[in-house]
Amino acid sequence: MFGPLISKPGTSKNNKTGSWRIEARPKFLQKNCIACRLCILSCPEGCISGEEKNTFICDYDYCKGCGICVEVCPKKDIEMVKEDLDLTKV
């Protein structure tokens, strides 16, 4: 077989793009959440998870801090907070 082959799916998980965030990160307040799932649907990374109300959270290993989830949240239950640049916590 010719050409570069990648035989395992989803290996990009090894690439922790969370280190790209420099200014702000989304904070899930988990207070007024109505579980509409808009944040899950609209995350370009696909790194938000949750099922019930007030359980939604994003994976900071991959979140690039674009802030789309903050914009789409109808209850303003996600806000951008200043990034803590201590990389050991990422």
Partner 1 sequence: MSKPLFFPGHTACAGCGQSLAARLVIEAAGPNTIVVNNTGCLEVFSTYYPLTAWGVPFVHSLFENAAAVASGVEAALTYLGKKDKVNVIAQGGDGGTADIGLQALSGMWERGHDVLYVCYDNEAYMNTGVQRSGLTPFNSDTTTSPVGTQSMGNLRPKKPMPEIAVAHAISYVATASVGFLQDLQRKIKKAFSLKGPKYIQVHAPCPLGWRHEPRQTIEVGRLAVETGLYPLIEYEFGKLTGVRKIQPKPVEEYLRLQGRFRHLLNNPQAIKQIQEIADNNIDRYGLKIQL
Q: How far is the CB of 81 from partner 1 (least distance, A)?
A: 14
Largest CA distance in the chain: 54
Q: Verify binding: residue 71, partner 1, rule CB under 8 A.
A: yes
Selected binder of partner 1 within 29, 57, 72, 90 (CB under 8 A)? 72
Q: Verify binding: residue 74, partner 1, rule CB under 8 A.
A: no
Q: Verify binding: residue 81, partner 1, rule CB under 8 A.
A: no
Query: Residue 71 contacts by C-beta under 8 Å, 6 or more apart in sequence?
Result: none
Quote the CA–CA distance of 62 and 64 in Å, as a whole number. 6
Rounded to 5°, the CA angle 52-82-34 comes to 20
Residues of this chain that bind partner 1 (CB under 8 A):
4, 6, 8-17, 20, 41-47, 59, 61-62, 64-68, 70-72
